[in-house]
Amino acid sequence: MSDKPMSAEGGKILMIDDDEDVLLAAKMLLKKYNHQVIIDKNPNKIPFLLNNDTYDVILLDMNFSKDTTSGKEGFEWLRQIKERDPQAVVIMITAFGDVEMAVRALKEGATDFILKPWQNEKLLATISTAIRLKKSYNEVDKLRKAKQMLEEQISQPFRDIIGQSAALKDVFTLIDKVARTDANVLILGENGTGKELVARAIHQKSLRKDNSFVGVDMGAIAETLFESELFGHKKGAFTDAREDRPGRFELAHSGTLFLDEIGNLSLSSQSKLLSALQQRQITRVGANQSQEVDIRLICATNMPLLQMVDEGKFRQDLLYRINTVEIRIPPLSERVDDIPLLANHFLNYYTRKYRKDVVALAPEAMIKLKKYAWPGNVRELQHALERAVIMADSNTLQESDFLFSRKTNEMPANDSLNLDEVERTAVAKAIQLHNGNISKAAEELGLTRASLYRRMEKYGL
């Protein structure tokens, strides 16, 4: 064996033996190998020592002065140590003639034993193995706790949906009722109310939770790419099809497919979607053979689909297909009681993210938040808290840290010459004119969807 069999990383060792010479000899040896060694000749101090520190290895004598041969005291202290910490790594120290008792100690929870007088190399090797065992116990314990925390987070209902208002509790009730079925769900609500969070909650509580949740923003898909995005394509099917590519239906097979902004689909795309849902089959663009798909469908929109059906803008048969169960998400203005919970949640999140020492909202600031109409709903509140945390000069957010362009949900007067107000008015009017259809509003304004979203965030729309 090499001169230094131990690694540079030592362990913390507690050694209990009534022979002071043995204790000192062991301590001098082990300290050479980077171990921290705590020694004591009185076993009655074991409870105190265990209460005040943790040890990688405990070296415990089998016999003490009161009873020098039976090992009874050693067994009793071993029992007490293992009761306090079932994963304690205990090495028994015994005389040559006590091997039988040492074997019994192994059966009662000891990790190993060493004989007195010991060989230094044997002692060092035994301790090295014991330290590795203790580290493996610690790693397993960490993994177990992490798994337990993850399971608790997963099992916690609606962990991402914050609120306790009566309006939100009705939503929770519907989620519970529908989640474990395969019924198609239509989620209705204004922009920023958290429709995707509800969709994910349904998936997490469903029988498909171990499979994929695939979300698609239907309003962001160009008409010409609809089939390719949803059903996939074969290599060479069109100019940019350089390889085979699965569509969203395939990716969501055995899981959940979430179609957001379903109201933005053209009648042609609605027809193709309806066909796939009815047949439970899709055909990749450029392919001759169809394939079956098994998906749970959840759709969402902020648009009045019933009105659109009456106007011939949305297929009635598709509406019947997608809304077996309908869940309406209340706007933030209908759940004012949830604003303090949400505000504090975002406050805590952004103080950690931006490493700011902001710990509270002043009462006047909270009153202001509760009085505001929040046309942009939870998303607008989130952005308001983010900005306030970034710009904060003290550890308490004041009323003046929240700047709103208006106190009510009404649009500002049209005769304003302030450029921001003029732009905000135009954006608001376009959205209102097109019943919340972002694609059409962006087209009306001569903007891309992304540019319109940025302006909506800027003005809290």
Q: How far apart are the two ends of the chain, measured CA to CA in Å?
A: 74
pLDDT band at 138 (very low <50, low <70, confident <90, very high): confident
Per-residue pLDDT reduced to its tens digit, 155-172: 444 457 888 999 899 999
pLDDT over 90 at 97, yes or no: no
- CA–CA separation, 152 and 197 (whole Å): 18
pLDDT digits (tens, 9 = 90+) for 392-402: 889 999 999 99
The answer to whether 57 touches 13, Cβ cutoff 8 Å, is: yes
Q: Cα(322)–Cα(307) distance, rounded to whole angstroms?
A: 16
Structural domains of the chain ordered from first start: 12-147 (3.40.50.2300), 166-330 (3.40.50.300), 333-459 (1.10.8.60)
Q: Look at residues 9, 15, 10 and name the one whose alpha carbon lies nearest to residue 27.
A: 15
> CA 313, CA 280: separation in Å to the nearest integer?
24
Secondary-structure percent of the chain, ordered helix, strand, coil, rounded to 5: 50, 15, 35
For the cut 70, the answer to whether the pLDDT of residue 145 exceeds it is: no
Least confident of 151-155, 305-309, 337-341: 151-155
Is residue 295 within a helix (H) or strand (E), and if so which, with residue range?
Answer: none
Average pLDDT value for residue range 112-131? 90
Peptide bond before residue 246 is cis, with ω within 30 degrees of 0: no
Indicate the burial class of 374 (C-beta count within 10 angstroms; 0-12, 13-18, 19 or more): buried
Residue 382 pLDDT > 70:
yes
Beta carbons of 174 and 352 less than 8 angstroms apart: no
Both structure tokens of 50: 């265990």
Write down the residue that tokens 């390719």 correspond to. Answer: 228
Rounded Cα distance between 452 and 82, Å, is: 65
Mean pLDDT of 68-86: 82
Name the burial class of residue 345, with classes exposed (0-12), middle (13-18) and buried (19+) by CB atoms within 10 angstroms of its CB. Answer: middle
What are 331's two structure tokens? 């706007």
Residue 114 has pLDDT above 80, yes or no: yes
Locate all alpha helices (DSSP H) within 10-119, ordered by sequence: 20-31, 46-52, 72-84, 99-107
CB 111 within 8 A of CB 133: yes
Q: Which amino acid is at 433?
A: L
Please provide the size of the chain in residues: 461
CA 168 to chain centre: 21
- Residue type for position 413: A
Kindly indicate the confidence band of residue 69, based on its pLDDT and cuts at 50, 70 and 90: low
| Per-residue pLDDT at 171 | 94
The crossing angle, in degrees rounded to 10, of helices 339-353 and 363-371 is: 120
**91 pLDDT band (50/70/90 cuts)?**
very high
Identity of the amino acid at 141:
D
Distance CA 339, CA 165 (A): 10
What is the rounded CA–CA span in Å between residue 188 and residue 84?
Answer: 55
More confident: 156 or 445: 445
Shortest CA distance to 40 belongs to which of 64, 72, 56? 64
d(CA 268, CA 156): 41
CA 451 to the chain's CA centroid: 30
What are 170-215's pLDDT values in tens digits? 999 999 999 999 999 999 999 889 999 999 999 999 999 988 899 9
d(CA 400, CA 395): 14
Tell me the C-alpha distance between 290 and 283, whole Å: 4
Distance in angstroms (rounded) separating the CA atoms of residues 91 and 114: 7
Q: Which two tokens stand for residue 261?
A: 């902004």
Residue 411 has pLDDT above 70, yes or no: no
In contact, 224 and 181? CB cutoff 8 Å: no
* CA torsion, ordered 277, 281, 282, 283, to nearest 10 deg: -150
Q: Let me know: does 344 contact 375? Beta carbons within 8 Å.
A: no
Pairing verdict, β 291-292 and 281-282: antiparallel
Cα–Cα distance between 29 and 178 in angstroms, integer?
Answer: 67
Q: Spell out a b/e string for 411-444, using b for 16 or more CB atoms within 10 Å of the CB, else e.
A: beeeeeeeeebeebbebbebbeebbbbbbbbbeb
Q: How far apart (Å, rounded) are the C-alpha atoms in residues 445 and 425?
A: 12
Cβ(451)–Cβ(458) under 8 Å?
Answer: no
Percent of the chain with pLDDT over 90: 50
Please tell me whether residue 113 adopts helix, strand or coil conformation. Answer: strand
Q: What pLDDT digit, counting tens, does each position of 229-261 carry? A: 999 988 888 887 777 888 899 989 999 999 999
- Residue 377: helix, strand or coil by DSSP? helix
Rounded Cα distance between 169 and 282, Å, is: 37
Q: What is the mean pLDDT of the chain?
A: 85
pLDDT value for 405: 58
Identify whether the C-beta of residue 133 lies closer than 8 Å to the C-beta of residue 114: no
